[in-house]
Amino acid sequence: MSATPKVLNSPLPIQICNQDGTLTPQGYAFLRRLWERTGYAPGTDSAWTAQEADIALLSAAQAQSMANAALTEAKAALELATQVLLDAQSIRSQALKALETAQDSSILAATARGNAQAAQNQDESMTFAVMNR
């Protein structure tokens, strides 16, 4: 074995270790930034990431299920509204037909009343004519 010291410096443009193995100020700054980027002390492990992904997947599935239920309910409400609209249109056409019948009846009543009065007047005039003879 050779007695040469281990090279503790990384192939970075700056020196992060001194010859005795202690960190330089740039080395401290490098490790602090690395530490901040990787999630501080606990770090980021794959089991935690997988657990978070599973939780997110379950939440998404639950949201999808709720959205499907809401869509089904909305379709049922739309179908009910369509049926109510059809019923309203049917009632409207019946009301229009009743109005038309009422108008026809009022025209017939007015016409018949006028004819009845005219006929009564003619009868009276005929009665007077017969009585005067």
Res 115: pLDDT: 55
Q: In the 3-class helix/strand/coil scheme, how is 73-86 assigned residue by residue?
A: HHHHHHHHHHHHHH
**For residue 1, is it within any domain?**
no
Residue 77 lies in a domain: yes
According to the model, what pLDDT value does residue 58 have? 95
In the chain, the number of structural domains is 1
Query: What DSSP state is assigned to residue 11?
Result: S
Would you say residue 5 lies in a domain?
no
Structural domain of 122? 45-132
The first and second tokens of residue 92, run together, are 């409207």
Instruction: Provide the pLDDT for residue 117.
Output: 54
The answer to whether the beta carbons of residues 75 and 83 sit under 8 Å apart is: no
Residue 34 has pLDDT above 50, yes or no: yes
Residue 49 maps to a domain? yes
DSSP 38: T
Q: Residue 3: inside a domain, yes or no?
A: no
Helix (H, G, I), strand (E, B) or coil at 9: coil
Indicate whether 67 pLDDT > 70: yes
The tokens of 128 are what? 């007077």
Residue 133 pLDDT greater than 60, yes or no: no
Q: Please, which residues have CB within 8 angstroms of residue 9's CB and are 6 or more apart in sequence?
A: 15, 16, 17
* Residues 88-109, mean pLDDT to the nearest whole number: 90
Reported as a single tens digit per residue, the pLDDT across 104-121 is 888 887 777 655 555 555
Q: What percent of the chain has pLDDT over 70?
A: 67
Average pLDDT, the chain: 78
Contact 17, 8 (CB under 8 A): yes
* Domain membership flag for residue 16: no
Amino acid occupying residue 83: Q
Residue 14: inside a domain = no
Answer for the pair 15, 24: CB distance below 8 angstroms, yes or no: yes
The span from the CA of 44 to the CA of 35, in Å, is 11
